[in-house]
Each structure stands twice: as C-alpha cells, then as structure tokens.
Structure 1
Amino acid sequence: MPQQSSDSSVSHQRMQCMEVWGGNRQVDRYLATPGLEAWIYSQPHEQAPGGGDVYYISSCASGRITRILLADVSGHGVDASKLAVGLRELMRRNINIIQQKRFVAEMNQQFAELASNHQFATAVVCSFFSPTRRLTLCNAGHPEPLCLQQQDGQWTSISQPSEARELSDFPLGVIDEASYTQTVLTLSDGDLVLLFSDAFVESVDANGDILGADGLLSIIRGLESDQPDRFIPALNDAIRAENPSNLSDDDATVLLIRATGKRTSVKNNLLAPFRLLRPARDRTELST
C-alpha cells in the first residue's frame, strides 16, 4: 500500500480510472494512482480564490497511464481561467494517449488560439506508464524539475536533451511551430520527482539575492527525503527561513511524485474497454 501522509490537514484521495483532478485553487492534497503517489501544495497569490498556477493529474481507463501537468499561466482573472479550462479539456481528451509530444504540441496550438493580449504559459508535462515504470517528461520553458533516484541518493536537475532544436521547448503560445523534446526516466521504488512553479527559484536568500535553480537545489539537498509526506512542508519552511517574504509575492505550487511499484489490478484492466465508452470524469475546481 502507498504510504499516506501522517499530517491530518492534508486531504487524501485515491484516483479513479478515467478521471482528471486538479485546478488552480489553494490545495494541500495526497493522491495515489497505480505506480505513483503524489503530494500537491498550491497557494494562489494574496490568498486569492484562484491563481495562474494550474495543476492537473489524470488516470487512464485502466489506470496504467498517469499524466501530470503543472503550468504557470501569465496574467490572472477571466483570461487565465479560460486557458486553464482549455488545458483541462486537453487532459480529458488525451487521457488514454501515451504519446506525450503530440499532447504538448497540441497544447501549444490551442494556447495560441485561446490566448489574448500576448499571453503565454510555461509548463511541464509528465506521463507515467506503470507497466514499464517509465516517466516521460516535456518542458515548455518551465523551471527544471528535480529527481532523486535511490541508486544515486542525491537530487539532480532533469535537463532537456542536448540535441534540442533551436525552435524547441519554448513556453506555450510564444512560437506556433515550436516542437518539444522529451526526457525519459525509469523509476525504481522510492524514486522521487519534484515539480515546482517559478516562485521557488525566484525566492531570495538572507542577503536579498535570488536563489535561482542552484540555490534552490542546494536547499533541497539539505532536506530529509525519507518521509515524502513531510518533504513539502519542510521545503516551504526552509524557503521562508531564507526570507519571510518568500512564496508570498506570487502563486506558489509544488508537486512531489514518488514511485511505488504498485500495478494496475486485473479488475481495472478488464473494465478498461467499457470505461472508454464514457467521457473522463471531471474532478477539477477552477476559480477566476
């Protein structure tokens, strides 16, 4: 069984097959899918009902494909909410499709169609296929995620492939013809992946200097990681200890993923063809 958080303030949920969960509201949640468990924390700027950070997690008809999206949409209000709805519909429409580059390219095209006033978004998309334990990651101009693989024992950045083309991996809505590269990781039990919004890399240290990717990585490497349910609170506390204003001047979202090795049940595999006959269940909550 996946380890669940001991913090009673964190809501718990085991995702159902053919379901999309997420939104842009304040949240502190634990989720489990076959092969993965996740902890998500999001706090919109100035305690607003909703922010520009958008997070979604989907589980396919059998539960074998888990897709995770974290996006930082420029602007707020109605325009940002409209784009968040568009991203949600893409998650629902592609819930059973494992090919990720197509999904991200379609996101970019739809963003260009829906965006107004030169809006754009950075985003990171992960697709996990539980039978092979493969996590495929695409990054559209977002802060680089981090990974801790048990065999290495140290947090490292998940960088884009060195062969990335000149017009690749741009934020969504910047270049219509942009392409997107992907990085593939094979996760063992206990491996961790950390996604976060730019509020974390744009935090400052005690001298007022921006932490940046290296400063954030240094802080994260100093945290205990053997109890993942306590990792995000410890990270937030460590960032705020650097400077009390940190994580309060922008939307702040962080998502921790842990590989568990749990497989899809025989029952879910048998029911998958019947679930394909209905649309994906919408468990999202969006606010303007």
Structure 2
Amino acid sequence: MQMQCMEVWGGNRPIDRNIETPGLHVWAFCKPHGKSLSGGDVYYLSSCASGRITRLLLADVSGHGEVVSAVATGLRDLMRRNINHIRQTKFVRAMNEQFSQLSTRGEFATAVVSTFFSPTMKLNVCNAGHPPSLLYRQQQQTWQELTTEMEGSDQIADTPLGVSDEAAYSQHEVQLDPGDLVLNFSDAIMESEDADGQQIGRAGVLKLVSELDVSQPDKIVPTILEKVSQLHSENLDRDDVTILLIQATGEGPSLRNNLMAPFRLLGSVRQSAAGTTDERHTESS
C-alpha cells in the first residue's frame, strides 16, 4: 500500500500489511487478544502534505471496548492536526493531556512515537513508558536498543501517558542509512514466556532479533511471531500483539508531491472548516 500525502492510516483492528512512504518501507502487524475484532493496541501512520514527514505511533492503552475506541479516535485526530509538524513535542504533550483527562477512571497508555524526515533521513523517537525500539545498523549488521534519557532534569520523565500532566518527554534523534531497520512492538512480545515459564524480557527480545536473517525484511515480522510462538504455545494468545517494522530506503518524495503540497494544505484547511476528513483507517475497514 502506498501512503497518500495528507493521509492518516491505522486503528486498533487486526492488520498485516506492507506500507510505503517516501524514504520508508513499513510492515504493520496487529492481532487483538483472542478473537476480538479490536484491541487495546493502537497504531497510526501519517504522511504530510509533501510526503517528506512520516509519523508512526504505537500505543498500548489500558481498558477495553468503548474507552479504547474513543482513545483511538482521539489519537487519529491528534495525528491529523500535527501531520505537517516535523517536531513531535506538541503531539506527545497533547497525547499526555488527553490521557490525563481520562486518568480519573484509571486509564493510561504506553506509547512510542517516531517522526521520519526523508530529506535528511533522520528519525526522532519519543518513548512514553513503552518497550524500547530496536535499531538494526546495516553496515555493522547489529541490533541495539534505542533508549531516551533526560540528563540533568528533575522533572518526571518518559512515564506512561496519563500518569502525570507535568511529565516531560525526551527525544532520541537517529541518523538512518539505507537498509537500516527500526522495530517497535507491544509488550506482549517482551512478556512472552520461554519453555520454563519465564518472561524473556528486553534482553530476550534483543537476543531473538539478533539471530534473525534480515536479508529479506518482509519476512522479519512473521519470523518473530513464529519464534515467539515456538517458545510457548500461549505466547500470542494472552494479549494484543502489535509490531511496526520500518526500513530506510533513501528515496525522497516526488517533485510532483513537493509542488502539490501548498494546494493540499489549502484543501485540508477547507476540509477542516467543512468538518470533513480524508483518512483511511482500519476501524472502518
């Protein structure tokens, strides 16, 4: 699937799809718990007016049913409002405010937000209490964790959304090269158990992916799922399972998309004034 400029795609329903944006290949997989048609894992991708900015969101929301559906709708709207902003600080702050308003009912979420700018191939990652992203360097052929730390700050930092309305969130900027991979996943992968009933944890996930053959990126996600299910028969049935894998390609947006960007921006303003949208998302599919 080719993402369109000014598009927001995603939701909280089952999916197994390959998406292309300028500079990125994205593989998205989501399997809600049991036989549910929707789950607490929410995923979104957006592409700006020119296609140069791609944003990815993976959130694990506490609660079920109508609460998660309302949250998914709210997050989609936030993605749309921030679709042309390269800095994601405002977006993450707005997400935290949204969950702070729900905190009276005990709702919160972990999340990882990534913003990719294709002209520079830089990826900015913000983590709110979520399992850390994993980075694969093509040249070194090694995997490593992407951790975000705030140095010299007394503020509450990088906590799950909704825990504190005063929380600050740090950014990790990564310079990607063609062939590099970034893997985001929900905690169901990290909390998978081995044959002895012990959770594999962060170290276990890193070990698992380090043993993968990455020469065919389209097979990475299904191989992870296969290996996790082989560790324990119930690993993929206990919770929602979501994986977002991206690969940097080095390709930029087309000249046509750059030239059309001002007109798309004008169109989005008119749509907002008319109360209409042009998003594709899996809640309605």
Q: Which residue of 1 aligns with 2:128?
A: 140
Q: Which residue of 1 aligns with 2:71?
A: 83
Distance 1:246 1:229 in 2: 22
How do residues 66-105 of structure 1 correspond to structure 2 at under 5 angstroms?
Answer: 66-105=54-93
**Structure 1 unpaired stretches of 5+:** 1-12
| Structure 2 letter corresponding to 1:183 | H
How do residues 1-288 of structure 1 correspond to structure 2 at under 5 angstroms?
Answer: 13-114=1-102, 117-161=105-149, 163=151, 165=153, 166-279=155-268, 281-286=278-283
Q: Would the aligned equivalents of 1:145 and 1:196 in 2 still touch at CA under 8 Å?
A: yes
Equivalent pairs counted in the alignment come to 275
Distance 1:145 1:88 in 2: 22
Distance 2:202 2:152 in 1: 20
Q: How well do the aligned residues superpose, as a CA RMSD in angstroms? A: 1.2
Task: Provide the TM-score with structure 2 as the length reference.
Answer: 0.94
**Structure 2 unpaired stretches of 5+:** 269-276
Q: Would the aligned equivalents of 1:197 and 1:253 in 2 still touch at CA under 8 Å?
A: yes
Q: Would the aligned equivalents of 2:102 and 2:108 in 1 still touch at CA under 8 Å?
A: no
> CA shift at 1:163, angstroms?
1.3
| Structure 2 letter corresponding to 1:148 | Y
Distance 2:33 2:104 in 1: 22
> CA shift at 1:160, angstroms?
1.2
Q: Would the aligned equivalents of 1:137 and 1:182 in 2 still touch at CA under 8 Å?
A: yes
* Identical aligned residues as a percent: 53
Which protein is richer in helix relative to its size? 2
- Moved runs in structure 1, 4+ residues, more than 4 A? none
> CA shift at 1:151, angstroms?
2.2
Task: Provide the TM-score with structure 1 as the length reference.
Answer: 0.93
> CA shift at 1:114, angstroms?
4.2
> CA shift at 1:278, angstroms?
2.4
Distance 1:99 1:233 in 2: 32
Q: Which residue of 1 aligns with 2:271?
A: none
